[in-house]
Amino acid sequence: MSGHSKWSTIKRQKGAQDQKRGALFTKLSNTITVSIKQGGGNADPSSNFRLRLAIDAARGANMPKDNIERAIKRAEGKQDSDVEEIVYEGFGPGGFSVIVEALTDNKNRTGPEIRSIFEKNGGSFASSGSVSYQFESKGEIVVAKDRSLDDVFNIAADSGAEDVEEGEDELVVYTKPEDLGKIRDRFVSEGMSIKHAAIIRKPTVLRHITDKELSQKAVSFVEKLEDHPDVSDVYVNYEISE
């Protein structure tokens, strides 16, 4: 019986993993579709940089090539043309600012569901423009820490990047959104390992959380938003103290 019980547990875990993997691939497919729509129907990643980023993200998540090609063909064939990007704003538990970017084919379903996550987890929904002024659009390049900070800083400065931040096992380079492509390509040409590159919303004002219980609520709240099948990105302006 113990063997059967163990196998049942493994099956449940695998099922949950497969479900999450499937949900991720759906999100990535929708991102590809919307990138082509936003690019005026341009399905060529060499001239549609948002599409190029979307394909890179899909490859980084080990999304099969066939899935990527199907997503492109659907967009080219004008299928799924009702998928659109919707931005929601609000406040998390404790009052920090939140921006949620979603890709949906039914905003009448997605909006109430996102609102429900806010209201059931100590947050509050807000109107457009309520918190977006606290964030600015930036290009973000996450570089593996396999070269020295000085090397990365020199390449960043020489290519026109705005800032470099050091993490535990990675370096984050910030750029103007319009410079993201050329600076990313410069790092690649220098043999740097790029973990991620995207246009993000970077907070201009940080809200520091020092209370342990509140920090747990904040993290749990963001995870619930990220787990929603229509949500592509969540941006917050909190910083949790160690």
Q: Where are the domains of the chain?
A: 2-76, 84-132+205-240, 135-203
Which of 104, 69, 66, 64 minimizes the C-alpha distance to 87? 104
What pTM value is reported for the model? 0.78
Tell me how far apart the alpha carbons of residues 168 and 182 are, in angstroms, rounded to a whole number: 26
Per the structure block, which two tokens stand in for 146? Answer: 């396999």
pLDDT digits (tens, 9 = 90+) for 94-139: 999 999 999 888 999 999 999 999 999 999 999 999 999 999 999 9
Beta strands, E only, the chain: 84-91, 97-104, 124-126, 135-144, 163-166, 170-175, 194-203, 207-209, 231-236, 238-240
CATH for 2-76 is: 1.10.10.200
Are 90 and 213 contacting, i.e. CB atoms less than 8 angstroms apart? Answer: no
Which of 93, 91, 88, 90 minimizes the C-alpha distance to 122? 93
Three-class DSSP labels, 39-83 = CCCCCCCCCCHHHHHHHHHHHHCCCCHHHHHHHHHHHHCCCCCCC
CATH for 135-203 is: 3.30.70.980
Which of 26, 25, 69 minimizes the C-alpha distance to 51? 69
Bridge partners, residue 101, by sequence: 87, 233
Same fold: 84-132+205-240 with 135-203? yes
The counts of H helices and E strands in the chain are: 7, 10
pLDDT digits (tens, 9 = 90+) for 171-225: 999 999 999 999 999 999 999 888 888 899 999 999 999 999 999 999 999 999 9
Q: How many residues does the chain have?
A: 242
* Percent of the residues in the chain that have a pLDDT greater than 70, as a whole number: 88
- Domain 84-132+205-240: CATH superfamily is YebC, transcriptional regulation domain (3.30.70.980)
pLDDT, residue 81, reads 56
Q: Mean pLDDT across the stretch 142-163?
A: 91
At 31, the pLDDT band (50, 70, 90 cuts) reads confident
pLDDT, residue 83, reads 82
Compute CA 59 distance to the chain's CA centroid, rounded to the nearest angstrom: 14
Q: How many C-beta neighbours within 10 Å does residue 78 have?
A: 9
pLDDT, residue 201, reads 93
Tell me how far apart the alpha carbons of residues 68 and 29 are, in angstroms, rounded to a whole number: 7
